[in-house]
Amino acid sequence: MKSFKLFLICLCFFGVKLQGQIDSLKLKITHLVGDYFGYTTYHAFNGLLFPSNSMYLVSDSGVVMFDTPWDSTQFQPLLDSIWTRHHKKVVFCIATHYHADRTAGLEFLNQKGIKTYTSYQTYRLCAIHHEKQSSFFFLNDTSFSVGQYRFNTFYPGEGHTPDNIVLWFDTEKILYGGCLIKSTENTSLGNIADANLILWPLTMKKLIKKFRCANYVIPGHFGWLHKKSLRHTLRLLKQNR
């Protein structure tokens, strides 16, 4: 009985400690270059805090988000932080695949009147897996213009998921890869429940060839200080075999 009580006390202690960590981290915004910013939010996953990277772009016509926070408690704080820092509202958002760490905030943004987009593949998979859906979808690789900026979506093939796309910002040579690309801090492929481990290496080779001039490569989780994430992901895939 004493052991059971001790277990409950420990459980409560670690739960409070974890909540305290979440409250203190919540949101981290990092300036990349020019009007481009990375942001990291944190989600409790299997008892640990897990960082999730996303991006946003500040234009004359408003702010564009690329993917959403994972944790619902961080949806509004992100919008508030963007407004406080830039005095501009978010005008639309593009999510890069159907998992919740990319799409969890889509419904929230829809309700705010912010336009949300995904590929049709992602839109369909969100419906199948009961994830939040965008208001709009595009069928093929698409160029978007907002204010003075233009950027492109690119579907390189299956990898982390069947629908994963990347975003390319040619002016500053930024490749936003989402969960298709693993940080150089990663020692494993992470969640491969929906991965195509046969095609993923081919997809990475296509990215390496197409975006060899990238100045920034932003993975879905953990650090992005090094541009070698593409080749590192390919090495992890070879090790996994």
CA dist 222 and 235 (Å) reads 17
191 as an active site residue: the answer is: yes
Residues contacting residue 27 through CB under 8 Å, at least 6 positions apart: 39, 40, 41, 69, 74, 77, 78, 81
List Cα–Cα distances, 207 to 44, 155, 175, 199, 204, in angstroms: 31, 10, 10, 13, 5
Catalytic residue list contains 215 = no
Told to judge if 221 belongs to the known catalytic residues of this protein, a careful annotator would answer no
Of 53, 71, 97, 186, catalytic: 97
Distance, CA of 213 to CA of 175 (rounded, Å) = 10
Q: Based on the residue annotation, tell me whether 160 is a catalytic residue of this protein.
A: yes
- Choice among 101, 164, 186, 221 that is catalytic: 101
Q: Of 110, 152, 191, 196, which one is the catalytic site residue?
A: 191
Q: Select which of 99, 163, 164, 221 is catalytic.
A: 99
Question: Which residue among the candidates 160, 164, 221, 232 is catalytic per the annotation?
Answer: 160
Catalogue the active-site residues: 97, 99, 101, 160, 191
